[in-house]
Structure 1
Amino acid sequence: MSRRSRLRRITAAALGGLILVTLTLVGMAPASAEDGNGKLLLVLDSSGSMKEKAGDGKTKIEAAKTALNNVVDALPDQAQVGMRVYGATVFDRKDEGACQDTQLVVPIGTGNQAKLKAAIGKYKPYGETPIAYSLEQAAKDLGTEGQRTILLVSDGEETCVPDPCPVAQKIADAGIDLKIDVVGFNVSGKAERQLRCVADKGNGDYYDADDTEELEESLSRLSTRAFRPFRLGGTPITGSDEPATAPDLGPGSWLDKLPTEAEAVKYYRLKRTKAQSTFWIGASLQAPSSRTQLAMKLVLPEDLDETCGWAYPSALGGKHSRMLLSGVVSSHSKDKDCLAATEFLLHVGFTDFSDSLAGQKFQLRVYEEPPVSTRVGLPAEVDDPHWQSMAPRNPKTIQPGSSFADAPTITSGTYKVDVMPGEIQTFKVKADWGQRIQVLGQIAKLAKADEWVARGARRYSVGVLSPYGGPAKAIFGKGEPAGYQSIVSRQGNEVAVQTKEVRWANRDGSGDEQNNALAGEFYVTIQLDREAEDEPAFALPMTLTVGVIGTPNGAPQYANDAPPPAETPSPSATPSSEPPASESPEPPASQPASNPPASGNGQPGDGGSGEGTENDGRTGPPAGLTAALVTGAVVLVGGGTGLLVWLRRH
């Protein structure tokens, strides 16, 4: 089979794969109707043109029914899904009501597969194409809270007014957790441009499907993959440009937009509930360009020049790829005024590298750590870690997350995933006090038909983020079999990353130590670069081996026996995917670490959220920027028969 024909065959399931991926993510976090989390609404074209023939001679409506029925059969019981159709009851635009001809045929709910299949059976081509009005009604169907997705399937352009593109922009702007994905079915020209615009302005993705084969084939194969955007989540909040009117920012997950002016700043107020407690504030956003940076500071309300902690979260990634900017600022300080403070102001602003961030949505995650009863007996700051050999074995397939909220929990073991160029994948790994994390990746020799993927300098890499999003990679880790990133090779190669042991006293050190100063759920992240905006999209099979090294020890005793939270705050719960004990690698016990002197707190470039400007000696950009990335690495399983899974995303 030629490369071209394989592209067409395997990308056939663009519609089914996109729907199933969305539903898989919806199903990850069961949510009640009241909280509005994880809702998907299918918006389907029932206009007269759906009776036309697709590329293979079958009608578009026949292909759509087949694909949709397959999707419904695979729905998780807990998925909140509904269906709206347009152009189903009024025949001609001249007829009254033609441009408001849209109906919610299946209200959003769970366990409604029978109703959805019944509605699909009645789905017939008939009237006009009122896309804009249908999108407005769909947004109302989904409500105003939680993660919401509109999935529009259309074979043509708007036949009414207004233009659906600015309507999509308005809908997306009104809901931080709402996106509009679009599948264009056998479209071209103006219709294709309009549907692309709807997806773009709606913060979603656009997919093409040309014929019945492209809607029917490979649904199961693509049910766990699509171009997954990193999703932010939390309670909306609006920071103030004046310190005096700063809103209260308590523990939890929050969403806001960055200032629109380069010199502008947003302020938030944090109030201590216990004397000398420590605030950890993580900031994350999907960076729109390859070199971006934020400025975060914790200052005293009565003296804005008195800084108790700062950080410069940065992102640096491959061309044409999505990037995550993520970092942490902490209030931990030995300054007497900072120790005695009852309130702080969080300052979020820009640096000289922030031009592309104006107005971007970003997430804040906040935790107030109680003070310790005593530091006596706590292990001192940890030295650089030494890699401990671990062999991949018995890999288990797992569905990756696309954000902090939906990252699946994994333990020591080996896992199989598929990653697409430019996407961000996330996994949670719990590390207790006295433990550290290792991640190993290997890429096998590529099959002959897949060798084009290794042309140029396509990078794949792995990152580890702290519980609140700070880069936790040990800058000067010793003995790793490879660097944390590598160029995809035809012959195969390795990547590896490790963290320092989690110790309370690490907060007195530099960036990579501070980001290993709080036990909890760390995040392993994976990314594979795109090489061109218009390259054929594909999913590359990979395996990921994770080791949690060491026995829990050195836990601090908090004042009044107040423990830290078991999990980092996120908008929704996530499942655990742990391999049986027999499938886990068995790394040896951790080695003892020496105790270097403290290197201070709040240094530019670290501050708990960066790794300074040191370079670890391997290929790649300076560690101070790359550490803040979620560029990821993994074991790639290839060989033999051409394992790349193709789909067309434009």
Structure 2
Amino acid sequence: MRQRGKGRGHSRGRMTAAWCAALCAVMALPGGTAQAADAPGSYSFDSKAKPVRGATVNSNAQRLTPGSVYRDRIKKDGKLYYRLDLDARTNAYVSVVAVPRAGGKVEYGDGITVSLKSGTDSQCSTQDASFEGGTFTRPIAAYAHRMIEPDSTNCQERGAYYVLVERTTKPTSTPDDWDLEIRYDEEPPLKAAGPTEAPEDWPSASPAPPAGGPQKRAGGTGFNDAMSIGQGEWRDDIKPGQTRYFRVPVDWGQQLFVAADLGSSTASTDYVSDALVVALHNPARGYVLQAAGPYDGKPSSLGLKSLPPVAYENRFDSNESASGMRFAGWYYVSAALSPALAEKYGDKAVPLTLRVNVTRQAKQGPGYDGQPGIFAVTDDDRDAVAKGVSGPGAARSDTMKLVAVAGIGAGTVLLLVLGGWRVLARRHRPAA
């Protein structure tokens, strides 16, 4: 009796240990509950982003380093400070992507303001990103910068600078925290001073639609896994509530034109205002412009206003949209479909076509005194368009697929362990 009891206890102990090990393995998987909690909504955050905690006063702000990406959260009507240590030669850009929780409510004017201030509180620049056209939750982005300017005395000195992120939320909006993705990039100075006035005349007439017919390219879910596209028509499907991201390489001297088409539907003919929002951001993820249009079940088209060719001196233009076309590199196009369509048309995907024209021959750059980094178009970039390669976040997507497979495998192991424990318990159950 003692021996049987001892054997049963040992078996149960071994099975308990195995069960605990399997359970721990499942909980430790990157794709488990911790990862799910780390991915609000459907935005693809940079997998290499570092955690940072914004301060409520500038004297306590944590320092950001160039070329780095960070994650934080901002509360309703919150204000957060971050510190930069700048020299007296380099242009600095800090972008902030704000991601409200999916399914929440936002009102007209809700959004964020990103400002960059000197140590003496002089404002270097500021930009807003708000829900104006299309009041439904989706990622929004803006940037602020310190720019070295000839004959300027504001924000030109070496020293500590502070990024301030402010959130505006109406009383009737969802008060949940918004997730932030913060990126800090530097632009090298020029070897020799160039023009300091933006061009006044440039082609504004939209070119003919690109030839060749649509090609299938699935958009990403954020800046980090945006799908590479170029001249042509690009076909995707988008569901209500989704935002799809694409990126287009635009070199110095080239001009970008973008239009979006929604296909027809047989489900309804109900009118939805601001159903589609198309936005453009520059290589530093600075907001350039957006357009919003309705949908009534019929084919509809929405085009972005014409912009000047990419030129270094555009940064001196007083118009924010023209000023945004200040460097070569990847320009980001996002298309967001209102969740209100689900009420009228069902939760089915709507055909989306982007028509992209990149006109004019590429020119030599402005002559940076250093590596341009993200502010250039390379042969690899052009190759990415030809092959249909997503941005750096695509590697994260592949990783998550592996995690999902591993999760299934771990779950299977756990079921087998539990099954074995049950069989063993029956085998050693005392006879009645």
TM-score norm. by structure 2 comes to: 0.72
Counterpart residue identity of residue 179, structure 1: A
Q: 1:345 to 1:203 in 2, by over 3 A?
A: closer
1:550-565 residue pairs with structure 2 within 5 A?
550-553=360-363, 555-559=365-369, 561-565=370-374
Q: Which deviations, in whole Å up to 9, do the C-alpha atoms of 1:53-101 show, x marking residues without a partner? A: xxxxxxxxxxxxxxxxxxxxxxxxxxxxxxxxxxxxxxxxx99978995
Could you tell me which residue of structure 2 aligns to residue 433 of structure 1? Answer: 252
Which of the numbers 36, 40, 47 marks the counterpart of 1:179?
36
Give secondary structure in 2 for the equivalent of 1:312.
Answer: strand
Q: More strand by proportion, 1 or 2?
A: 2
Could you tell me which residue of structure 1 aligns to residue 137 of structure 2? Answer: 322
Give secondary structure in 2 for the equivalent of 1:538.
Answer: coil
CA distance in 2 between counterparts of 1:243 and 1:500 reads: 37
Could you tell me which residue of structure 1 aligns to residue 429 of structure 2? Answer: none
C-alpha displacement at 1:409, in angstroms? 1.3
CA distance in 2 between counterparts of 1:579 and 1:519 reads: 21
Could you tell me which residue of structure 1 aligns to residue 234 of structure 2? Answer: 415
Answer yes or no: is the 8 Å Cα contact 2:198–2:316 preserved in 1: no
Answer yes or no: is the 8 Å Cα contact 2:251–2:376 preserved in 1: no
Give secondary structure in 2 for the equivalent of 1:576.
Answer: helix
Matched, 1:344 2:161: yes
Which of the numbers 287, 291, 301 marks the counterpart of 1:494?
301
CA distance in 2 between counterparts of 1:567 and 1:557 reads: 11
Which of the numbers 100, 111, 115 marks the counterpart of 1:293?
111
Counterpart residue identity of residue 503, structure 1: A
C-alpha displacement at 1:406, in angstroms? 0.6
Answer yes or no: is the 8 Å Cα contact 1:423–1:527 preserved in 2: yes
CA distance in 1 between counterparts of 2:142 and 2:279 reads: 13
CA distance in 2 between counterparts of 1:99 and 1:315 reads: 53
Matched, 1:243 2:58: yes
TM-score norm. by structure 1 comes to: 0.49
Counterpart residue identity of residue 462, structure 1: V
Identify unmatched segments of 5+ residues in structure 1: 1-93, 105-133, 143-148, 151-167, 172-177, 181-200, 205-228, 476-483, 581-650
Q: Which deviations, in whole Å up to 9, do the C-alpha atoms of 1:270-328 show, x marking residues without a partner? A: 122x5231111111022344332223221222x13x21122222234646x43122111
Could you tell me which residue of structure 2 aligns to residue 380 of structure 1? Answer: 198
Give secondary structure in 2 for the equivalent of 1:537.
Answer: coil
Matched, 1:269 2:75: no
Which of the numbers 115, 122, 141 marks the counterpart of 2:29?
141
Which of the numbers 353, 356, 368 marks the counterpart of 1:543?
353
Answer yes or no: is the 8 Å Cα contact 1:248–1:270 preserved in 2: yes
C-alpha displacement at 1:356, in angstroms? 5.0
CA distance in 2 between counterparts of 1:293 and 1:539 reads: 27
Q: Which deviations, in whole Å up to 9, do the C-alpha atoms of 1:158-193 show, x marking residues without a partner? A: xxxxxxxxxx5xx3xxxxxx226xxxxxxxxxxxxx
Answer yes or no: is the 8 Å Cα contact 2:254–2:310 preserved in 1: yes
Matched, 1:254 2:69: yes
C-alpha displacement at 1:377, in angstroms? 5.1
CA distance in 2 between counterparts of 1:490 and 1:532 reads: 10
Which of the numbers 322, 329, 332 marks the counterpart of 1:523?
332
C-alpha displacement at 1:530, in angstroms? 1.9
Answer yes or no: is the 8 Å Cα contact 1:290–1:323 preserved in 2: no
Could you tell me which residue of structure 2 aligns to residue 313 of structure 1? Answer: 129
Counterpart residue identity of residue 65, structure 2: G
Q: 1:490 to 1:408 in 2, by over 3 A?
A: closer
Answer yes or no: is the 8 Å Cα contact 2:169–2:175 preserved in 1: no
Which of the numbers 503, 508, 524 marks the counterpart of 2:316?
508
Could you tell me which residue of structure 2 aligns to residue 283 of structure 1? Answer: 96
CA distance in 1 between counterparts of 2:298 and 2:29 reads: 51
CA distance in 2 between counterparts of 1:101 and 1:567 reads: 54
1:56-75 residue pairs with structure 2 within 5 A?
none
Matched, 1:332 2:147: yes
Greater RCO (Cα-Cα under 8 Å, separation 6 or more) = 2
C-alpha displacement at 1:424, in angstroms? 0.6
